[in-house]
Structure formats: C-alpha cells, structure tokens
Structure 1
C-alpha cells in the first residue's frame, strides 16, 4: 500500500482522525430539530495532509483511488463519488469566507462504508479538522460539524441532519452525546457498558444503503410538510402529550412519520434518564420499540434488518434496533457481555437460513471524537 510520502514526495504536516458512530436512539429526529443519543466508534477515517500553494486539491483514498481539482473550480455537482465528500468540505469552507487553498490528502478508513455507521461524516470531519489546523482557522468542533453538514447537504446532495457530524466531532470516550439538534447544546452522558456486564453488538447486514437516491429526501420533505400543516416550525415543537390530537389533522400518509418522530424524541429522553441512573439494561426495550417505529411507521427498515433485530432478541438480547438512516445498514443489540458471541452466532444462523450473506459483527465501545493524532 502506498503512503503519503510515496505519493506526494514529502512528509505530511500532520494526521487527523474522525470516528464513525452508532446512534443508541433518536433516528430521523435531527432534521426535525429533535434529540439524538449517539456514541463514537473506535473505527475512524484518518487523514494525512499537507498544504499546497498552487490551489490544487489532491486526494487519495486507500479504499477509493485518487482525484484532484482546483479549489477555485469546486462547485456542487462538479465532483463525483467518494471524492465529493472531502472536496465538499473545502468548498464549504471557502463559501463560508475562509481563505483556504490547496492541499494533498492521504485518506484511510476502517469505518465500514454503507453500513449505517456514518463513514461519510467521518470522512468530512477528518478533512474539516485537518484544514482547520493546516490553515489556522480556529473553528470550534460544532462549527466544523456544521460546515461538514453543509458539504453533504449542498455539495454532495444528501439532505442529512446534523447528528452524524456532531457525533464525529464532539463525542467523548465512555459517553453518549445527548444532542439537542435545535440549538446544538450537548451533554456527555456516561455509558459504562462493561461495568454493567453488557456489550453493544453492531450487526452489519451488508445491505448497502444510498441516502442520495431520493427516499431520504422524501421522508424529510414529508416531515416538513406535516410541520407546516400543524403550524409548527418543526416537529420538535409537537409534544408527546399533544400527539393524539395532532394526528387527525394530518393526511393519512403523514401521520406515521409524525408519530415516529414524536415518540422517538420521547424514547431519547427515557434512555437518557436510565443512563443517568446507571441502569442500562432497561435501554433494551427502548431500542426494540424504536425499531418497531422505524419499521412500521417510518418504513426505513428492510427484511435483513428486521431479521437481525428479531433473531437477536430471540437469542437473548435485551433489545435491538436498526441504526442509521435505514434502507439496509446495521443493527445494534444490547446484550449480556458473556452472551455476545452466542447471540452473534444465532443471528448469523438465521441469516444463512434466510439465504442472506453472513453479517459482519463489531462491538461498539463509546470512543473519542475527532482529534489530531500526529
């Protein structure tokens, strides 16, 4: 495998890392300005980088190949594939008025792509942090997260909320990030899985999702339409107690979307209360209820994720749900640590019986957010 020095003929000026994430609970709530509760993963995107003085952006990914463009030529739709994410960050920085120029970037990742673990946000955040240091911008972690989100929304064309970028930038080891997507206030909530004798399995179904194919955008548009019809700025403003009276005011196709968002916000708050009390096992039923809502109301699950949830719970998991935007990706399962291997094996057996590919299994350990590593 090539190195930065072999590719570019010099040593990098530094190396930065940004993690993927799993979301404990709070799915499709961030773009409705609600609550989310992600943790960062040990798996990261790593960016070695050095400035160029000729305005050229040169990119190389050990997973994706090479690309280059002049920073003055960057525009939405002008860069395709994986390179749109780092190029979009540079575009977003320049559009925001930051006087940044070219760079050489060498990118590597062990965050599984297309698994609902936010590999794209990790890539954006690693590049944003590298540029922040290289060009002495002095931007805060939330400011960099917002610029990374801007890159994905306007440059790549995926209308994602802010959770993935805030998780990658702001999570801390041993904690979940309780994020209010309305004002970006955060609280680090301790998550001591090992101390409770528990583990959080990540079951990658290997079903690839593509959030740029229009389905995600349609869901967001439906939520925004529902808020307008209810006279609200966002669905965040609809309280759980007001849900029964609000739903009859909406067209039938919008009611399940609203029901999911409002009940999911409530599940986030319930989960935080259990974590604050150091009582982790009751998170299990909250996860399972969240998956039922995603599958039946929001309709972003698929047969593989439904099977992984059902098989994990049947094998003894406290609870399980899909994590990420949906349409494939990964399932998380809260399990007794000593039973983790058994539960993973039983999910694999169920997949084989259904004719599905063998799922990949990871263990999620609440880890540190984006940082400079060299």
Structure 2
C-alpha cells in the first residue's frame, strides 16, 4: 500500500506531466531538447532522486512505489524521464549497490538534487549485453588508475557531470570477471564526449560516445574502494535488475497513452457514415491493445512487489522488461493502424511514439537477452548447470 506522501508525489507528477510536459512534446521533438523550465521543475519536485534513499536527499521510493510513479512519467515523451532516469536508475544505482558509505554520502546528494546528472558508461562497440568484448582498460599507477577506451551510445553523455565507467582491470580475466567500476567526473583530463547521436526516435534524450585517453583518477574513484576492484560487472548486473523493472513500467505508461490516443481517434474519426470505432475490426485492435496494457501493468506491479521483498530479483525483472517492451511495440503498431494515413504523418503523436517505443526492446538488455536470462535461470533452478 502507498502512503499518503507517496500518493501525493504520484498525483503531482501526473498533473505536471499532463499539464506541462504533454503540451511541450512538439517543441521537444522539434528542438531535440528538454526546455530548461521543465528541467528546473523536475528537480524541484525531487524527480532526479525519487529512487535515492531519504538519508541522501532523495524521495526513497521502493520499487512498488517507483513503478506507479513511472507509469505517469511514461505517459509522455520518453526524453523527459530520460533526463533524470539514469540518476535514479543504472547510474545512481551503481553507487547504491556498490559504493562505500563515504562515497554514498559525498555523491548521492548531488545526484538526488539534480545538481549532477550521472551517466552509465558500460556499452562499447564490441561489448553491450555480453561483457566479454569489453576493451576499456584501467591500470594502476601508484595511487592512481589510468583509464583508456571508448564507450558508445551513452545516455545523457552530452550533459553528464559524472560517468560510471566500467573498465577491465585484470587483462587476464574473461567475461564479466576482472571489471571495475570507476566514478569519473566530466572535467577529468583526457575524457571527451563525441557529438550527439542522430537516432530514430526519442528526440531530446541525448546519447553520445565517450572517449577516455589516459584519464587519471585517484584510487578513491573506484566504486566500492579496494573491495570494489574486479567487482564492477556484478554491481552492474544488480543495477540492471532494478532498471529492467523501471523500463517495463515506462512501457506501461506509454502503452496507456497510446491506448488513449487510439480510443480518442476511433471515437471521433468519421468514415463510411459513422465513427470508425463502430467497426468491429477496429474494435478488435482496441481490445488487443487494452489487453496488452492490462497484462503488462499487472505483471510489472507483481514483479515490483517480489523485487521489494527479495523473493525474485532476476527472472521477474527480465520477464517484465521482455513482455512490456514487446507489448508497447504491438500497441504502438496498432495505434498507427487505427489512425490510418494520419498515423504515418509527422506531428501526430502516435507516429512519434511508434519510433520512440522501438528502443525499449533494445536497451537495458535486448528481448533476446531477456529470453536467455529467463531460460537459464529456470534451468538452473531445475538443477541444470
């Protein structure tokens, strides 16, 4: 059950999204940027730290409360949520999952307040879902580490103040072993960010390459201190479990918007002497989308509860992310179909959301990776090694 304070946060976010962000969607698409006033307002509402514990300046939402909030954030352009999503998700959780107490006290308040935007720098040209190809390296030089490598498709890189950089510190180790997470500030000499990527969708959500050329960081930059050396990938995997539920909830929010847009169009578009919603084949499309939405929402709520009580932190998150991301793709496709030719035109929300939704089946683990995670865990539980 959600307490009154959390309900108030969710309600105020719902109003803000629908009254302030939705009307700005066309501007965000045109300018490929979130208006500064929306960023300031989001920070004032505590959205940069909703998943950060209260002791570090955040709202301290558990997973069950977080998904209810993200349902509301997902109702509009994904770029709005992306602006602070990494602070609460995979970047901020690197600190929550792996940092020392001193590191948490020093850096989490900066992230929770929105003073810092954090980025999660794991993906490389030859290393994404599979860490075996991770080429970024870090070698010890006295009291410092020297990092060299290149990261790709890093969300919020063009505006990030700090990067959670994953580098191989044991060149002889294989797979996810021997990888360490470092906290590297943007002004570190040798760190540079490439130009913004030109993407299919999600305008306003910026990604770019991050280059590290002999970047020197102190030993204190190792997340987790000395105990964190070689444990970075395990930390990343724990962060991704949380992130997968978060993305699943985002997909539910977008599916709700797409259903609303579809129903509104079907109820007003006249064709053949009546509104198209009276045609049974259109009704079938609406029914299928509503069913996908209901199923995805129920799955996410159940998985979040199991994540909170610790009973399922692996299969559930992958199932939720897999189903919800595939479901919102189906709902987006039907929304375009219901709109007909209008749904193929730029400037119509469902056309934009159709492009935006495609990414959800790729990042934080592709649908195919989720299938592997789910199946392997089922077989492991059955005694297959």
Q: TM range, normalised to the smaller chain? A: under 0.3
Which structure ranks higher in relative contact order (CA pairs < 8 Å, sequence separation ≥ 6)?
A: 1
| Structure number having the greater strand percentage | 1
TM-score (norm 1): 0.27
TM-score (norm 2): 0.26
| Structure number having the greater helix percentage | 2
